[in-house]
Copies of this chain bind each other. A is one copy, B any other.
Amino acid sequence: MRVYTLDNPVFATYVIAAALMVLKLMGQGWMTVYRMMKSNSGLASPEDAQKGLLNAAPDPSQLEVNDYVDRSRRMHRNDLENIPGFWVAGLLFVAVNPAVWLAQVLMYGFVAARAAHFVAYATKQSHEVRATFYTIGSLIVIYMALHVLWVVLF
């Protein structure tokens, strides 16, 4: 059976979830850009504190770490630690032909968990709230990888 085709509802589910996570990940970069421009600080490289279109009044203090901007970078790093693992585990999961409902619960569940993690991190919720959504997303990825290994090896 061909699995990597849009006729397969499991693959279609994967394509939707994976594309949404592409938008989430790329959007986080733009949130950092927005926060750098709004706060006029948290710049990454020495040459960024020069006069230019993006920086009308340069100042060396613009290169210092600023929690408003750095929070977006930490969110980005957390995404990088979780989303690529989902992309690959999901792609492999499609290969082993799981039930459609299971793929939908896991893949849309991951998208929902990461959306909730985003809100919790951006609004500075307690470590417990953020950790809960991180855990849900991480366990979904780990489950998919274990399921794949089980089917292929046994």
Chain A residues close to B by CB (< 8 Å): 2-6, 11-12, 15-16, 18-23, 25-26, 28-30, 33, 43-48, 50, 52-55, 67, 71, 74, 76, 80-85, 87-89, 91-92, 95-96, 121, 124-128, 131, 134, 138, 141-142, 144-146, 148-149, 152-153
Contacts and interface: CB of A to CB of B under 8 A. Distances in A.
Interface of chain A: mostly helix, strand, loop or mixed: helix
A29 B138 contact: yes
Contact of A127 (B16, B47, B142): B47
Contact of A95 (B6, B20, B80): B6
20 contacts: A2-B2, A2-B5, A5-B95, A16-B149, A19-B89, A19-B92, A22-B141, A23-B145, A25-B81, A29-B134, A30-B138, A33-B131, A44-B74, A45-B121, A46-B67, A46-B124, A80-B80, A83-B84, A84-B84, A87-B88
A31 B25 CA distance: 23
Number of copies: 3
Given A43-B127, A148-B19, A95 B4 contact: yes
A54 B138 contact: no
Contacts of A30: 138
Contact of A12 (B88, B127, B152): B152
